[in-house]
Structure formats: structure tokens, C-alpha cells
Amino acid sequence: MSLRQEKQQEFFLQHAEVFRKLGIMDPFFVIKTAFFQKGKYGRNVQFFEWELKKGEDIYVEFYDNVTDNNGSIIDFKPFHADRLLCKYKVNPHYAEEYEQKENVNQKTGDNYFTYTVPLLEMIAVSADGREKTYAMYEKSDDESFKEEIVLPRLQNSLVFPDFENDFIPKKEEISLENSEESIVEICTRISADFQKLAIALSKIKLT
């Protein structure tokens, strides 16, 4: 088994629980590199024509090559620290929409085609199976953490107020001075209101 095959199995196991949650028993999973290409915005990924021809969603985890001092590849490491799982949504029009490149197999001399797809057209899949565009993942990676962590705290503060701060009077606000007069004034206003109500009700009865 080649290093790539070993690493692909290892990377797949990282996402086995996600596939279980999604109910996908036999996902089409591959590992790829994400690269910059002159004349194109952002990173891109290459798919083989046979991969796109299968007509299935392709799940991808990106990796970086680890090389020795001679430049030989000795290992693969995850590209995203959070072990992001991406999905290429099947597109029957891939041949018209993506850049095609003709390649030659160095071992057999056979020609084959690859297609370049921008990462911005990929879908980011979270650990719980939720999806959002890769563009939104890149844009809101930090903000999403704030949304999930900070907003619930804000909501809790709205539902469960801070009684100590909001409802218990501060010591400096409590004053016994003229407290008896304040009670008398309140009682007087209540009495006057009842008298007005009684007069109003009597007028209604008379009419």
C-alpha cells in the first residue's frame, strides 16, 4: 500500500462519524492538495475526469506535503487545523464550466484529463453534518465561533436577567430619609384615584 493510500484511509477515519450522522454508508472520499494558480482567485483543486464522471458528490480533505531535505515527499499533513471536510456537489456541466487540462501518465504514456475547481465552489461540512459554502467558512470562521459561543450567553442574559444588578437596589440608592412622607403621598394619590373612579361609576349608573 502506498503512502497516499495509507493516508487516505487515515484521513477517512477522521470523518467516519460525520458520514454516519449523514447516513452515507459508502461515501466517495479522496484527499487533495489546494493550490494557487496564476490568473485565478484563491486556492483551487484538481479532479480527475473519471472522478467527475461518476456523477457523485465527492468528499475531500485537503493536505499539505511533508518533504525531507532532498525534497522527497515523506508524509501528508492536514491542510486545515480543524480537519475540515469539504464536499464537491455533483455538477453534470463540469466540462463546460471548469478549466480542462490534458496530462500524460509518466508510467504508461496515456493521456488523461483533469479539471480545476475553485475551493470557493466547495461546501464546508461541519463535525455535526451542517453545511455552508467554503467562502462562508473562510469569511466567518472566527465569527461562527462567536455566534455559537457568545450569542447563547446573550440570549441567556435576556431570558434570565441578572437579578442582583438589575433588581436589587444599590446600597447608596436606599435612603430612609422622608420615607414616611413618601408612603403618605402614595396613599393619598391612591385614595384620590378611587374617589375619581367612584364618581365616574356613579355617573354611568345615573345615565
Taking the C-alpha atoms of residue 207 and residue 195, their distance in angstroms, rounded to an integer, is 19
The amino acid present at 131, given as its one-letter code, is: E
Q: Is the pLDDT of residue 147 over 90?
A: no
Question: 90: Cβ–Cβ under 8 A, 6 or more apart, which residues?
Answer: 55, 56, 57, 58
What are 165's three cell numbers? 444588578
Taking the C-alpha atoms of residue 171 and residue 72, their distance in angstroms, rounded to an integer, is 73
The amino acid present at 130, given as its one-letter code, is: R
Q: DSSP string spanning 4-46?
A: HHHHHHHHHHHTHHHHHHHT-SS-EEEEE--EE-TTSSSEEEE
Provide the b/e sequence for 172-186 (b: ≥16 CB within 10 Å): eeeeeeeeeeeeeee
Residue that wins the pLDDT comparison between 32 and 179: 32
* 33-65 confidence digits (pLDDT tens): 999 998 888 999 999 999 999 999 999 999 999
Please list the alpha-helical segments (H only) found in the chain: 3-14, 16-22, 49-53, 94-97, 134-139, 141-159, 163-166, 179-206
* 62-85 confidence digits (pLDDT tens): 999 999 999 999 999 999 999 999
* 99-109 confidence digits (pLDDT tens): 999 999 999 99
Kindly report the pTM of this predicted structure. Answer: 0.67
What rounded mean pLDDT belongs to the chain?
81
